[in-house]
Chains A and B, each alone.
Chain A
Amino acid sequence: MVKIQYQFKRTTPLRFLSHLDQQRLFQRAFRRANIPVEYSQGFNPHPKMSFALAMSVGLTSDGEFGEVMVSKNIDVETFISRMNQVLPNGLEIITAKICDEGVRSLSASLCKSIYRIRIKVVPETDLRELSESIRSYLERSQIFMQKRNKKGKFVDKDIRPFIESIAVFADSEKDKVNVKMTLIYIEQQSVKPEHVLESVNNQNSTVFLIDPTIEVHREELIIKADA
């Protein structure tokens, strides 16, 4: 039994998949590609597979991580080519490696996410002013935001530790800007980029017009290399 860790891209055609849809899609793709996936024992056997992160609906990414347990040794090149033959347009495996069994789980290895976001802003937004306002936002040592806890209650949470950097750039469309944002995982927790933008809005006045047409793209997901 070996564990295969793979990195994949999700592009626009499949950005609307839910996490569950994507799990199902990979399960079926493994079967179509003849990958000998290991199943859990018991009444309702489940394929032994997981993803580093649940991707939210709408998110595109250049580098997500997934892993799957296979019963027979299979070389990574075969794995990649067979999978890419059966995956629909919008999902593509880029790299894969065989891991030792004892290696720590993907979700425990999460380090940083680098996002690029295209979003509408209020008319006449001045990019220099916006940059300045973000700079002062990041100077704060604590930034509190209302977040729902596990019990569903709203609690104040300091999101500052999760934010490494935010930078804004002009977009080809006049009413939009590009935001580049690096967010940090601490004990598998982080904050959503939309929430950070909302929190920037809350500081002075609304700049980012957050609605479902926002385009969030993960340029890179950095995981800790195993010691």
Chain B
Amino acid sequence: MNNYIEKNILPLVTKPITYLGNEVNSVHKTPDQEMIRFAFAFPDTYEVGMSHLGMKILYGLLNEEKDIWCERVFAPWVDMEEQLRLHDLPLYGLESMMPLNEYDFVGFTLQYEMSFSNILNMLELGKITMRSTQRKEDEPFVIAGGPCAYNPEPLSDFIDIFVIGEGEEVILRIMAAHREWKKVGGNRQDFLKMAAAIEGVYVPAFYAVSYDEMSGVITAFTPIAEEVPATIRKQFIEDLDQAYFPDKIVVSYTETVHDRISYEIFRGCGRGCRFCQAGMIYRPTREKTVPTIQSKIKALIASTGYDEASLSSLSTGDYSEIETLIKNLVCDAEVGKVSITLPSLRIDSLSIEMLEEIQKVRKAGLTLAPEAGTQRMRDVINKGVTEENLMDTVRTAFEKGWGHVKLYFMIGLPGETLADIEGIADLGQKVVNEYYKIDRESRNKSVKVVLSASSFVPKPFTPFQWMGQNTPEEFMNKQRHLKASIKERKISYSWHDSGVSFLEAVFARGDRRLGLVLEKAHQKGCRFDGWGEYFDLEKWTEAFAEAGIDPNFYALRNRDFDEILPWDFIDTGVTKKFLKAEAQKAEAALTTPFCPESCSNCGIMEFKKGWKCNG
């Protein structure tokens, strides 16, 4: 098959090199009967998937095991899909080019809801039976993890095993169980039982859900197999500093979305922004030490040849020793030669001077995320950033010669009024005014402020998990109002939402009944829903209608605090009580402090015995 594809298929498609799996640092093994074959599947393009940190960690981790070969597979681009279908060739794992249905495991990472249709498409292209309960004995176990696994229910018809939380330790336990199972020689069901016994593992087939016939809400979620837990506890790595991180990462030939070393300096975030799911589910905050970061980045530069390393986290400026870290990195003989970038900076957390020192890039643009236009609204979402913070930052940036500032906002936040929308335009105006206050000699020749507003999607395990999303009409009106409120010619405004955030809201807080919708949408050809040119709301609307499901029930409905939510059986450590209290504080526009300043008892310290947050 390899030779045939190389000679006859790849010359016909765009970016053929991305379908060969022969990149620098890709892992090739000589398989034998005992070897566990694992296909790590990213349900989006190669360029997007290869930018994903979690895949790099798990790829390295699994391949450290002599008897496991972890390979990669991405959603083939539409031209490659067409060729595969035309020649009736199966989707394959890149390194060995083995058909997907011959692996022991196919593991999907769930990064965003809009990739769900790609999962179904990849299963079909890989010739794997779509519904997990219909899979034959010799088919792969389809396993999934990542942030969207915190509400696994919309995918529960298609996934055999979900991993809830951080995968580094659990995945190895699942592999150990697989070795054991092979030795004993049990059937498919036996292995699923063994997996379900591992903490952090959810096997949907072992649970049943009942609904209220009138209202449609869930009345019960019950285990139907013996010895499976009623609650699934999320897993987290206690000692992140000692946790596995690869010294080698695959270096793509083509340019990827984040074409650089990405090194995670800490996990979790204690800011407590109420809209942010990552900030809640990745608790507690755990840091790597400065020497670990320094030596790992050095090793990665040597093994990859990249000229840029990014210090990643949910809020990089909040790293407790950020100044020492940056000083050490800049002074290091080897690391000093490459460019260090700091993504995810809060407006208040790092000085522009420091940014200027380390980012060896042109002063093209500065991106900041105030998220909301008025102080009241920022208090509602607990963003904890003030207008003064923003003005201080942009003033310094303009003084240093920056001329282009991009500001990110969300609209459709709870309790939002038209005044809050106008506040976004006002804030943009104030930023422009700051520029004109700077001496003509020292400022950039031109100024441009871009306001970018996205439609808010309420997510599970956040204080806003109960609220209904704004209707598409409300969004439209707010966008129009915002556009009309902008008078300044130096401000440009960008917005696009063709219904994607509505669909995202449906699947983010969906339940098992959405499996049918996904299946129908897939049959209609839906895929790459995150890509504007392929998203087709009409097909989705038809799929909902044919499945007899009202999407508004999921996206737009306000839930009662005591309603059973589809994801209630998962324990993230952050308690529902805390989330409720936060929701109530949001209503009163009361803020909650940053964790190191004062503990707000989110529950994570009680979740794991002996755990103490370090701030």
- In the complex formed, the residue of B with least CB distance to A21 is B253
Smallest CB separation, A31 vs chain B (Å): 4
- Asked whether B16 is an interface residue with its Cβ less than 8 Å from the other chain, the reply is yes
- Asked whether A12 is an interface residue with its Cβ less than 8 Å from the other chain, the reply is yes
Question: Is there contact, CB below 8 Å, between A27 and B303?
Answer: no
- Rounded to whole angstroms, the CA-CA distance of A177 and B593 in the bound complex is 75
Question: Is there contact, CB below 8 Å, between B12 and A28?
Answer: no
- Choose one: A16, A31, A44; the contact of B20 (CB below 8 Å): A16
Question: Is there contact, CB below 8 Å, between B11 and A212?
Answer: yes
A24-B20 in contact given A32-B303, A213-B11 (Cβ < 8 Å): no
Smallest CB separation, A37 vs chain B (Å): 11
Question: Is there contact, CB below 8 Å, between A31 and B301?
Answer: yes
- In the complex formed, the residue of A with least CB distance to B305 is A28
- Rounded to whole angstroms, the CA-CA distance of A203 and B20 in the bound complex is 38
Question: Is there contact, CB below 8 Å, between A32 and B11?
Answer: no
Q: Which of B7, B17, B251 has the most CB of A within 10 A?
A: B17
Show 20 residue pairs from A and B whose CB-CB distance is below 8 angstroms, ordered by the A residue.
A12-B6, A14-B22, A16-B20, A17-B253, A21-B17, A21-B253, A24-B255, A28-B251, A31-B305, A31-B307, A32-B302, A43-B362, A86-B24, A88-B22, A88-B23, A88-B24, A90-B22, A213-B8, A213-B11, A214-B11
- Rounded to whole angstroms, the CA-CA distance of A12 and B255 in the bound complex is 21
- Choose one: B17, B251, B305, B307; the contact of A16 (CB below 8 Å): B17
Smallest CB separation, B446 vs chain A (Å): 17
Q: Could you say which residues of chain B place their CB within 8 Å of the CB of A86?
A: 24, 305
- Asked whether B304 is an interface residue with its Cβ less than 8 Å from the other chain, the reply is yes
Smallest CB separation, B96 vs chain A (Å): 14
- In the complex formed, the residue of A with least CB distance to B3 is A12
Q: Could you say which residues of chain B place their CB within 8 Å of the CB of A21?
A: 17, 253-254
Smallest CB separation, B184 vs chain A (Å): 40
9 further A-B contacts with Cβ under 8 Å, apart from A28-B24, A28-B307, A88-B24, are: A14-B17, A18-B254, A28-B305, A29-B305, A31-B307, A44-B362, A58-B11, A86-B305, A212-B11
A13-B22 in contact given A21-B253, A213-B11 (Cβ < 8 Å): yes
- Asked whether A25 is an interface residue with its Cβ less than 8 Å from the other chain, the reply is yes
Question: Is there contact, CB below 8 Å, between A13 and B20?
Answer: yes
- Rounded to whole angstroms, the CA-CA distance of A24 and B23 in the bound complex is 13
- Asked whether A57 is an interface residue with its Cβ less than 8 Å from the other chain, the reply is yes
- Rounded to whole angstroms, the CA-CA distance of A16 and B23 in the bound complex is 12
A212-B22 in contact given A24-B253, A31-B305 (Cβ < 8 Å): no
Q: Could you say which residues of chain B place their CB within 8 Å of the CB of A115?
A: none
Q: Could you say which residues of chain A place their CB within 8 Å of the CB of B77?
A: none
Q: Could you say which residues of chain A place their CB within 8 Å of the CB of B16?
A: 16, 57
Q: Could you say which residues of chain B place their CB within 8 Å of the CB of A213?
A: 7-8, 11-12
Total A residues in contact with B, Cβ cutoff 8 Å: 27
- Rounded to whole angstroms, the CA-CA distance of A10 and B8 in the bound complex is 19
Smallest CB separation, B553 vs chain A (Å): 48
Question: Is there contact, CB below 8 Å, between A28 and B6?
Answer: no
Question: Is there contact, CB below 8 Å, between A28 and B306?
Answer: yes
Smallest CB separation, A149 vs chain B (Å): 26
Q: Could you say which residues of chain B place their CB within 8 Å of the CB of A90?
A: 22
- In the complex formed, the residue of A with least CB distance to B337 is A31
- Rounded to whole angstroms, the CA-CA distance of A34 and B206 in the bound complex is 55
- Asked whether A89 is an interface residue with its Cβ less than 8 Å from the other chain, the reply is yes
- Asked whether A30 is an interface residue with its Cβ less than 8 Å from the other chain, the reply is yes
Question: Is there contact, CB below 8 Å, between B305 and A32?
Answer: yes
Q: Could you say which residues of chain A place their CB within 8 Å of the CB of B253?
A: 14, 17, 21, 24-25
- Rounded to whole angstroms, the CA-CA distance of A25 and B305 in the bound complex is 9
- Asked whether B10 is an interface residue with its Cβ less than 8 Å from the other chain, the reply is yes
B1-31 contacts to A, CB under 8 A, are: 6-8, 10-12, 16-17, 20, 22-24
B233-255 contacts to A, CB under 8 A, are: 251, 253-255
B residues with a Cβ closer than 8 A to A are 6-8, 10-12, 16-17, 20, 22-24, 251, 253-255, 301-307, 362
Question: Is there contact, CB below 8 Å, between A89 and B303?
Answer: no
- In the complex formed, the residue of B with least CB distance to A47 is B307
A101-118 near B? 1/0 per residue, CB < 8 Å: 000000000000000000
Question: Is there contact, CB below 8 Å, between B17 and A30?
Answer: no
- Rounded to whole angstroms, the CA-CA distance of A16 and B18 in the bound complex is 9
A residues with a Cβ closer than 8 A to B are 12-14, 16-18, 20-21, 24-25, 27-32, 43-44, 57-58, 86, 88-90, 212-214
- Rounded to whole angstroms, the CA-CA distance of A88 and B21 in the bound complex is 12
Smallest CB separation, A117 vs chain B (Å): 14
Q: Could you say which residues of chain A place their CB within 8 Å of the CB of B254?
A: 18, 21
- In the complex formed, the residue of A with least CB distance to B254 is A21
Q: Could you say which residues of chain A place their CB within 8 Å of the CB of B362?
A: 43-44
- Rounded to whole angstroms, the CA-CA distance of A21 and B256 in the bound complex is 11
Smallest CB separation, B585 vs chain A (Å): 47
A28-B304 in contact given A12-B6, A16-B17, A213-B11 (Cβ < 8 Å): yes
Q: Could you say which residues of chain B place their CB within 8 Å of the CB of A12?
A: 6
- Rounded to whole angstroms, the CA-CA distance of A90 and B26 in the bound complex is 14
Q: Could you say which residues of chain B place their CB within 8 Å of the CB of A43?
A: 362
Smallest CB separation, B30 vs chain A (Å): 15
A17-B304 in contact given A12-B6, A43-B362 (Cβ < 8 Å): no
Q: Could you say which residues of chain B place their CB within 8 Å of the CB of A25?
A: 24, 253
Smallest CB separation, A181 vs chain B (Å): 20
Smallest CB separation, A10 vs chain B (Å): 12
Q: Could you say which residues of chain A place their CB within 8 Å of the CB of B307?
A: 27-28, 31
- Rounded to whole angstroms, the CA-CA distance of A25 and B251 in the bound complex is 9
- In the complex formed, the residue of A with least CB distance to B6 is A12
- Rounded to whole angstroms, the CA-CA distance of A111 and B8 in the bound complex is 33
- Rounded to whole angstroms, the CA-CA distance of A14 and B302 in the bound complex is 22
- Rounded to whole angstroms, the CA-CA distance of A31 and B17 in the bound complex is 22
- Rounded to whole angstroms, the CA-CA distance of A16 and B254 in the bound complex is 10
- In the complex formed, the residue of B with least CB distance to A34 is B302
Question: Is there contact, CB below 8 Å, between A30 and B11?
Answer: no
- Rounded to whole angstroms, the CA-CA distance of A31 and B304 in the bound complex is 8
- In the complex formed, the residue of B with least CB distance to A58 is B11
Smallest CB separation, A88 vs chain B (Å): 5
Q: Could you say which residues of chain B place their CB within 8 Å of the CB of A57?
A: 16
Q: Could you say which residues of chain A place their CB within 8 Å of the CB of B8?
A: 213
Question: Is there contact, CB below 8 Å, between B11 and A27?
Answer: no
- In the complex formed, the residue of B with least CB distance to A212 is B11
- In the complex formed, the residue of A with least CB distance to B301 is A31
Smallest CB separation, A9 vs chain B (Å): 16
- In the complex formed, the residue of B with least CB distance to A30 is B305
- Rounded to whole angstroms, the CA-CA distance of A6 and B543 in the bound complex is 59
- Rounded to whole angstroms, the CA-CA distance of A43 and B16 in the bound complex is 33
- Rounded to whole angstroms, the CA-CA distance of A129 and B254 in the bound complex is 44
Question: Is there contact, CB below 8 Å, between B305 and A27?
Answer: yes
Q: Could you say which residues of chain A place their CB within 8 Å of the CB of B302?
A: 32
Smallest CB separation, A12 vs chain B (Å): 7
- Rounded to whole angstroms, the CA-CA distance of A25 and B307 in the bound complex is 12
Smallest CB separation, B24 vs chain A (Å): 5
> Which 5 pairs between the two chains have the least Cβ-Cβ distance?
A28-B305, A31-B305, A212-B11, A16-B16, A32-B305
- Rounded to whole angstroms, the CA-CA distance of A28 and B338 in the bound complex is 12
Smallest CB separation, B15 vs chain A (Å): 8
- In the complex formed, the residue of A with least CB distance to B26 is A88
Smallest CB separation, A216 vs chain B (Å): 11
- Rounded to whole angstroms, the CA-CA distance of A32 and B306 in the bound complex is 9
Q: Which of A12, A20, A90, A212 has the most CB of B within 10 A?
A: A212
- Rounded to whole angstroms, the CA-CA distance of A155 and B23 in the bound complex is 41
